Every structure is written in structure tokens, then in C-alpha cells.
Amino acid sequence: MNRELITTAFELPNHRITRTLGVVRGITVRSRSVLGTIGATLQTLRGGNITLLTELCETSREEAYEIMIRHATDVGATGIVAVRYDATELMSGVTEVLCYGTAVIVEPQ
């Protein structure tokens, strides 16, 4: 799928949505390792960006995004509009990250 046809907007410039295929989603559940938790705790002592947790969040979002794209490709979509992220802590140290949007078929105008 052309990554330029994936957007948080409800339409794609210079393209016409010809068919809506429904919601597509990607979900991943991640936990921090014991070493990662200790490292992140030590980083909080000095303040600022906690890079270990930032990397974990970015990896989780990227994985959920890629799964969403695979789901859209499986249903025959050529684009995805209204992309959003959501995250929920399932238990201490375990977080679900969801990426979802509307799968569409588009054609250039």
C-alpha cells in the first residue's frame, strides 16, 4: 500500500474515495522488561526524556501501524483515512496499543 494514501484526515487530497471497506486495526500488547524498568527508573532520577520508555512506545506504535496496514491490504484497500491511536494499560507494566482507521478504495481525481 502506498503510504501517502494513509492519513489522519477524512479525505485524501487529489483522490476520490470510491468505496469504504470498514474499520481496520492493528493491535499489539507490550510489557517492559525488568532491566528496562530499572533503566527507566534510573533515567527518571535525572529528569528529562526517558529514552527507554520512548523507544518502547515508538516500537509499539510502529508495530500496531504495520499490522493495521496488513489488515487493510487483506481487505483490498488502497488507502486508509481517519487513522487514530489508542493505548490502554491492561495490568501493571503491560500496555495494549491500538492503531485503527477506515479502509477505503481511492482513485486519483
What's the whole-number average pLDDT of the chain?
A: 89
Classify domain 3-108 at the CATH topology level.
Translation Initiation Factor IF3 (3.30.110)
Output phi, psi for 94, to 5 deg.
Answer: -125, 120
Instruction: Determine phi and psi for 19, rounding to 5 degrees.
Output: -160, 140
The H or E element that residue 44 is part of is helix 34-46
Domain ranges of the chain: 3-108
Q: What is d(CA 101, CA 71) in angstroms, rounded to the nearest whole number?
A: 10
Residues 24-69: pLDDT tens digits? 999 999 876 655 556 556 566 666 677 777 888 899 999 999 999 9
C-alpha cell at 16: 476520490
* Helix, strand, coil % in the chain, rounded to nearest 5: 35, 40, 20
Q: How confident is the model at residue 11 (pLDDT cuts 50, 70, 90)?
A: very high
pTM summary value: 0.85
Distance of alpha carbon 88 from alpha carbon 96, whole angstroms: 5
d(CA 93, CA 63): 18
